[in-house]
Structure 1
Amino acid sequence: MLIALGVVLVLEQWGYNVSALVAGLGIGGLAIALAAQDTLANLFGFTTIAGDRPLVVGEYIVTPDVEGIVEYVGLRSTWIRQLNQALVVVPNATLAGSVITNWSRLNKRQMQSVLTLEYDTTAPQMQRFLEAMRGMLRARPLIDPDSVVVLFTEFSDSALEVLVRCYVHESDWVAFHQEKERVNLEIMNLMATHGLSFAFPSRSIYIENMPPLSPAGFAPPRPPRPLRHQWPAHPRVTSRATSATIFQTTTTRAWKRIASGSCYIRRPWSDSPTQGVPPGRR
């Protein structure tokens, strides 16, 4: 700083206009500082990550914006591989200012579930089942025996609820769920051994007033409605045309609709039953 001040004074003594040079340098420095703001922020973010070490390559982390395995930590950004194999590049400034959950640094994982038993379960059955559950969980090598909690907690609307909670000495996600699967199968075996059944949400409806029913148990059928216009069956119309219905629309015109087969119908304005019928069919 003193050297720069001395150079400026010497240049002024030699007759140079130093004020314009200083102003230009100030504006240029401001522009450079604004342009390098993000780069400097990411660089400081890298120093924070490198100093605090909240994550390293190979660990599984979760942030509000991204979740996956850390693949690379650089000066400007960090690369994270998601479960769908997409690679997400996160600026170090953003990552350093986010809440980071590092699942790879767990010593143990919590296993918790709520079992719902039917209301037909008796108190002695419930007591024996709870004791068997506690013994089964404490005997498993991956489960912390001091953390086992099995309690009959609540009478819910449609079931008796049993809280099961413990800690598993396993940080790997897949291995933890494999142990959870084995525990669930043991629970099903204990339920079958003690003659218990799982309950499911249900509702009972009680009807106080019910309309009378017919002796068969159903309301009497409604009588069929008669057709408005229906021509009487012609003698030459056989059973092949039982599904045909003939409607009269005017006094001078009529048509036939026959669902199956073929027949000949006398014209409504004709007095002869054979008029309009071919000679071979009379």
Structure 2
Amino acid sequence: MGVFNRLVRSIGIILAGWGIYNVSAASSVMLESISKKIGLDDASMLIPFLSKVIRFVVIVLMVTVVGGEWGFSINGLVAGMGLGSLAVALAAKETLGNILGGIVIITEKPFAKGDWIQTPSVEGIVEDITFRSSKIRTFAHSLVTVPNATLADQPITNWSRMGKRQITFSLKVALDTDRERLAAAQRRLERMLLEDDRIDPGTIIVRFRDFNDSNLGIFFYFFTKTTVWTEHLAVREDINLAVLQVLDEEGISLAYPIQRLFIEEEDKRLEVAGA
């Protein structure tokens, strides 16, 4: 009879644990409602991480309670763990550091799922974060697993959170360019960027800035409104073609690498001796 009661209680504990395990899924109604109440978006990694923590705790408690029902001494287990606590602590140091790093990433939110990030060790799209590591899909389509402790200690550039994308360069024109034509071209180029709806009007700089040995430099500094890489490149291409058209209409040539050679010829005197 005692064995039957233990079996019934164990089955009840397992069923209850299994139910809690299913309820704690990241896609469950309970966690989705919590996510909506605290204003998390679909890209947030907090709910999946919380789901994994709850499921881990549920499994540990379920095994512990069922073991207690069948006479396994929890106190003995704890005492046995205490004997090797130093070895366990040393072995778990790296794992604990990765878990704490994951918590830091979750709480500080330097990135979310789907973000394009760059660190000294990896660059790509964030796919997932687990207890020990984060998974980054590189642009070569390989999957890189980075320990959370390493990721949390590195500077992280989140390119997906740019409000606008920078374009800057120095355009080198011929050294003998006419001053009036150069000034007219500079004004036209600046006005062209101001009138382009794809360019952020907050910061647009087009200035004749540099005197070089073989060219004159026009400095460009502005931002595209789009941060999508392919769209940004398309805008940049259109701007480059428009710049070439303005220079052509103003009769200004681009500078080419040149080398000047000066030869100094000394006068030679021929002395003819008299007879």
TM over 0.5: yes
Superposed displacement of residue 26, structure 1: 4.9
Which residue number in structure 2 is paired with residue 202 of structure 1? 258
Q: 1:180 aligns with which of 236, 240, 247?
A: 236
Aligned to 1:81: 137
2:124 aligned partner, one-letter code:
G
Q: Which residue of 2 aligns with 1:224?
A: none
1:109-188 to structure 2, matched below 5 A, reads 109-188=165-244
| 5+ long unaligned stretches in structure 2 | 1-77, 267-275
Task: List aligned pairs for 1:44-123, cutoff 5 A.
Answer: 44-123=100-179
Deviations 1:131-187 (A, max 9, x none): 100110000001122311011011101001000111111111111111111100100
SS in 1 for 2:260: coil
Percent sequence identity is 39
* Superposition deviation, residue 201 in structure 1: 2.1
1:120 Cα offset (Å): 2.2
Query: Aligned partners of 1:145, 1:69: CA distance in 2, in Å?
Result: 30
| Partner deviation per Cα, 1:42-80 (whole Å, 9 max, x = no partner) | 111111111011111111100001111111111111111
Which of the two has greater helix per residue?
A: 2
Per-residue displacement from partner, 1:202-226 (whole Å, max 9, x unpaired)? 110011239xxxxxxxxxxxxxxxx
Question: C-alpha distance in 1, partners of 2:127/2:79?
Answer: 46
Q: Which residue, out of 91, 94, 100, partners 1:35?
A: 91
Distance 2:201 2:223 in 1: 8
Give the drift of 1:95.
0.6
- Bigger Cα Rg: 1
Code of the residue aligned with 2:182 in structure 1: it is M
Residue-pair matches, total: 191
SS in 2 for 1:134: helix
Q: Whole-Å Cα distance in 1 between the matches of residues 79 and 197 of structure 2?
A: 74
- RMSD of Structure 2 on Structure 1 (CA): 2.0
Cα displacement string for residues 104-150 of structure 1 (whole angstroms, at most 9, x for unaligned residues): 00000111111111122111101110110011000000112231101
SS at match of 2:198: coil
TM (normalized to structure 2)?
Answer: 0.66
Alignment match, 2:71: none
- 5+ long unaligned stretches in structure 1: 1-21, 211-282
| Residues 79-111 of structure 1 deviation map (CA, whole Å, 9 limit, x = unaligned) | 111111111100111111110000000000111
Q: In the TM superposition, what whole-angstrom CA distance separates every residue of 1:210-268 from its partner, at most 9, and x where no partner exists?
A: 9xxxxxxxxxxxxxxxxxxxxxxxxxxxxxxxxxxxxxxxxxxxxxxxxxxxxxxxxxx
Q: Please state how far the C-alpha of 1:192 moved relative to its aligned partner.
A: 0.8
Equivalent position SS for 2:193: helix
**What amino acid does structure 2 have at the position aligned with 1:158?**
S
Q: Which residue of 2 aligns with 1:193?
A: 249
The aligned counterpart of 1:260 is: none
**Equivalent position amino acid for 2:171 in 1:** L
Task: Return the structure number with greater relative CO, CA threshold 8 A, min gap 6.
Answer: 2
**For 1:200 and 1:27, how far apart are their aligned partners in 2?**
77
Q: What secondary structure sits across from 2:84 in the alignment?
A: helix
CA distance in 2 between partners of 1:103 and 1:148 (Å): 21
Separation in structure 2 between the aligned mates of residue 25 and residue 117 of structure 1, nearest angstrom? 76
